[in-house]
Structure 1
């Protein structure tokens, strides 16, 4: 059998009642550990939210103790090793580092999804139990998981007053802007604007879509690599609070490349004027997208952003056309 594929796993319906209890115990252990990791990750910047996850972890610990007591009553002290990955078609938890990197709101959303999945599991497990006490316990746990969103809400009201919640949400938004939006926007602007001149100069100088495409690809990829490394190397984020240099470098590099590719890829079309008209339309869309992002995330007044971006892009575009046409 090949590890990791469903045919090497047991179906939930094939598990014994002892194995179902063992699976429930390992689930609670894993979920408590995940909540504690969330809390530890948030403790410095979002202490109130960290307390919410600490108490949710403690609640999972209580569930685990009840399940262990029930297992000892029915089957003894030796608990089989049964985990989620051993059961075919069973829900899986996303790696913690993936959720951590997506910020506070993503952690909250993941916690709600974890509770929903746990409720479904306990309802199915209760239906399969032949022991009255075990069935009652599993049903009670299903009800507890169903009510965890209310518990989470109570904990948030306890630790996250209106002011504390507002401060944490504001800090999370600010971190998102500094780590992802700002470098990504800088990259998109650089890729969209700085590559206009070489791409359209080549286009009007050669009237050859294939040559223009090659120059455009080289300009976009080269600019993306340059911007990504520059952003990552310029600031380690420790003093500025702008976050991981790797994340900022990735955001800046990818958006720079995307901005350049937008008006290079139309030259895959063999007809020069068709490709050029489409490329000009793409440039128009790119510039207005930059204006929208600046206005929404950077609080730049709409007309000022329009003047800066559209006028700047038009000047660079005109320079490319004049140089190529001359």
Structure 2
């Protein structure tokens, strides 16, 4: 509550403070674009060049705003940033966006310009002061100009072939870093935990005990798979990306795969829980086959046969051991 009360409402800002806010916002956006460019430069140099150009454009607008401030209010610019103003648009952290892929970064950059333009237009519509309205309108026009500049830079640096090549490279990186380890984890979690879960189920016919065994097997397998994937390859030579990202994907999906058919045993009735678990296993195995077909380009029938046959064998082993 103290933080909320400490923030100033936009409508209470003076014209000088609005101008100072615009200056700091332009400076922050230029730094964000340069951060994108630096992170993309090695793998996607053409898109990095686009963000370098957008950062330079932000610098140009910031300089014009500073010149205007000096002419109207002097050289001392008040310190006011987005986080100081209630209701002002916020930027997502660079570290959060840069981990979501090339296309997501491009979309975020476009959204940055739209957010700024829309905010200034809405702010201009709410003020009755002529000078303030003109100032906010000019800022909105500047942001709209940024969008045009971004399009021109994209056309200059990203030809059709270059963008197609970068998109293909980004898709391949997504497959290697997230899909492949995640799929391996899902397969391991779904198949390897079948035997201990159903062996326990048929040996004890105690749903709570079965759930605890399934929970332990799923979490343990997830931790093991996550650390194994992270330690197996640093990604430098193979190009598979960050080991921690791959380990996270593998560990989480392994746990999810095991928990899928462990959770039904929270149902007190043994046969209701077991039949529900059968259905969940069926869905899990077909989901794995679908992912293999969509992302790994494995023929669906072959993927289904491999996964379903392997799952059926492990499932049968668990049932036979538990029934004996």
Name the TM-score class by shorter chain.
over 0.9
> How many residue pairs align between the two structures?
323
Partner of 1:264: 262
8 A contact 2:196–2:213 mirrored in 1: yes
Once residues 272 and 125 of structure 1 are traced to their aligned partners in structure 2, the CA distance between those partners, rounded to angstroms, is 62
Partner SS, residue 157 of structure 1: helix
Partner SS, residue 93 of structure 1: coil
Partner SS, residue 92 of structure 1: coil
Superposition deviation, residue 139 in structure 1: 2.3
Partner of 1:193: 191
Once residues 123 and 266 of structure 2 are traced to their aligned partners in structure 1, the CA distance between those partners, rounded to angstroms, is 57
Once residues 317 and 293 of structure 2 are traced to their aligned partners in structure 1, the CA distance between those partners, rounded to angstroms, is 27
Partner SS, residue 191 of structure 2: helix
> So what's the TM-score if we normalise by structure 2?
0.96
8 A contact 2:89–2:116 mirrored in 1: no
Superposition deviation, residue 121 in structure 1: 2.8
Partner of 1:152: 150
Once residues 137 and 20 of structure 1 are traced to their aligned partners in structure 2, the CA distance between those partners, rounded to angstroms, is 9
**Pairing 1:18–2:16 present:** yes
Partner of 1:119: 117
Superposition deviation, residue 125 in structure 1: 4.7
**Pairing 1:177–2:175 present:** yes
Partner of 2:223: 225
Superposition deviation, residue 165 in structure 1: 0.5
Partner SS, residue 101 of structure 1: helix
State which of 220, 237, 249 in structure 2 corresponds to 1:239: 237
Partner of 1:99: 97
Paired residues for 1:126-165 under 5 Å: 126-127=124-125, 128=127, 130=129, 132=131, 135-136=133-134, 138-165=136-163
Question: Per-residue CA shift, 1:223-244, capped at 9, x if unaligned?
Answer: 0000001000111111111111
Once residues 27 and 78 of structure 2 are traced to their aligned partners in structure 1, the CA distance between those partners, rounded to angstroms, is 14
Once residues 70 and 129 of structure 1 are traced to their aligned partners in structure 2, the CA distance between those partners, rounded to angstroms, is 21
Question: Per-residue CA shift, 1:194-224, capped at 9, x if unaligned?
Answer: 0000100110111110110111011001000
8 A contact 1:20–1:125 mirrored in 2: no
Unaligned runs of 5+ in 1: none
Once residues 148 and 77 of structure 2 are traced to their aligned partners in structure 1, the CA distance between those partners, rounded to angstroms, is 32
> So what's the TM-score if we normalise by structure 1?
0.95
8 A contact 2:57–2:146 mirrored in 1: no
Once residues 125 and 75 of structure 1 are traced to their aligned partners in structure 2, the CA distance between those partners, rounded to angstroms, is 21
Superposition deviation, residue 313 in structure 1: 0.7
Question: Per-residue CA shift, 1:266-304, capped at 9, x if unaligned?
Answer: 000100000000011000111111111111111111111
Once residues 122 and 183 of structure 2 are traced to their aligned partners in structure 1, the CA distance between those partners, rounded to angstroms, is 47
Range with greater deviation from structure 2 (142-151 or 207-216): 142-151
Range with greater deviation from structure 2 (16-25 or 116-125): 116-125
Partner of 1:54: 52
Superposition deviation, residue 311 in structure 1: 1.0
State which of 21, 29, 32 in structure 1 corresponds to 2:30: 32
State which of 4, 7, 12 in structure 1 corresponds to 2:5: 7
Range with greater deviation from structure 2 (15-24 or 144-153): 144-153
Once residues 43 and 34 of structure 1 are traced to their aligned partners in structure 2, the CA distance between those partners, rounded to angstroms, is 14
Superposition deviation, residue 136 in structure 1: 4.4
User: What is the CA RMSD across the aligned residues, in angstroms?
Assistant: 1.5
Superposition deviation, residue 66 in structure 1: 1.3
Partner of 1:68: 66
Superposition deviation, residue 126 in structure 1: 4.1
Superposition deviation, residue 131 in structure 1: 5.9
State which of 185, 204, 207 in structure 1 corresponds to 2:205: 207
Once residues 130 and 65 of structure 2 are traced to their aligned partners in structure 1, the CA distance between those partners, rounded to angstroms, is 14
